[in-house]
Amino acid sequence: MADSCTDVNQIAAAFENVITTYDVSRIDLDVEDNSLTNTAGIDRRNKAIAVAVNPNSATMAAGSPASARITTAVTAGSAQSVNLSVRGAPAGATATVTPGSVTAGASATLDISTTAAVAPGSYPLTVTGSAASGTHAATFTLTVTGATPPPGGLVNGGLESGSLAPWTCQSGGAAATTPVHSGSYALRATPTGSRTGECSQTVTLKPNTSYALTGWVQGNYAYLGVSGGANASTWASSTGWTKLTAPFSTGASGTVTVYLHGWYGQGSVYGDDFAIT
């Protein structure tokens, strides 16, 4: 094959197909006749480092982990040291290869961790193997769906993902680093003269069931409540953290919108450690 095919990547891809199909770590190639003296073909064969990822894809909810096995193979000559790396992880996700260097024929592990902040979608991650004879890459496709809501329905209730998602806010809203009630982040809602600065997220709970929304708030006229499939609201004005509770009952759909907002022109308000019980 290396005699007639001049593309090293295509040769490596063919080797990788064998590795993935038969889950092997070494390929013994039967080289005969003119192939023994075809120096160009021998060089291409030596450069065709075989790197494969198995499985080569995963579908997961945001906030969940995934892993895969990275296999390398000796395609010709002696086993070389192969440096492994991965790139292409989306914002809110981390991808690592352990160990980062192996001898060709050995395997490594691709570990992926995600937070609730990862936007749903498909992301191609590129796993690269580099050795003295050349470099080759394999692709792992990561598909992220929406975060799986916890039993209480709320996602990112403590803002500890470091981003708003799945909260949405009017202009000025953010995951703030100060002040915080616990952890490293809190929700900031910023009113203006014409807006309350509302931040909200929609959750689905059990229909026709009684719940209590709780949260810690700080600032002038900080409102905490639910709307949509239920209506409840409470508020406080305080320079320190105050815990608020808003009891409510869901309707037939079980869907409600949880919100935090301030009051017109009264400055930013903060919320943290939201929960539904």
The residue ranges of every structural domain in the chain are 8-145, 168-276
Return the CATH fold of 8-145.
Answer: Immunoglobulin-like (2.60.40)
Q: Kindly give, in sequence order, each residue whose CB lies less than 8 Å from that of residue 202, ignoring residues fewer than 6 positions away.
A: 228, 255, 256, 257, 258
Q: pLDDT (tens digit, 0 to 9) for every residue of the chain, 277 residues total?
A: 655 666 645 655 665 566 556 665 555 555 566 655 666 655 555 555 578 889 999 998 887 899 999 988 766 556 789 999 999 999 989 999 999 999 988 899 999 998 877 888 999 999 999 988 778 889 999 999 866 556 667 889 999 999 999 999 999 999 999 999 999 999 999 999 999 999 999 998 888 999 999 999 999 999 999 999 899 999 999 999 999 999 999 998 889 999 999 999 999 999 999 999 9
Rg of the chain over all Cα atoms, to the nearest angstrom: 27
Mind giving me the DSSP string for 75-122? -SSS--EEEEEEE-PPTTEEEEEESSEEEBTBEEEEEEEE-TTSPSEE
Residue with tokens 């023994």: 36
pTM exceeds cut of 0.75: no
Tokens 């809602």 locate to 189
Residue 73: name the closest of 161, 119, 138 by CA.
138
Distance from C-alpha of 53 to C-alpha of 70, rounded to nearest angstrom = 5
168-276 is a CATH 3.40.640.10 domain: no
171 sits in which H/E element: none
Please count the CA atoms within 13 angstroms of the CA of 99 that sit on its side-chain side. Answer: 9
Core vs surface per residue 240-268: b (16+ CB within 10 A) or e: ebbebebebbbeeebbbebbbbbbeebeb
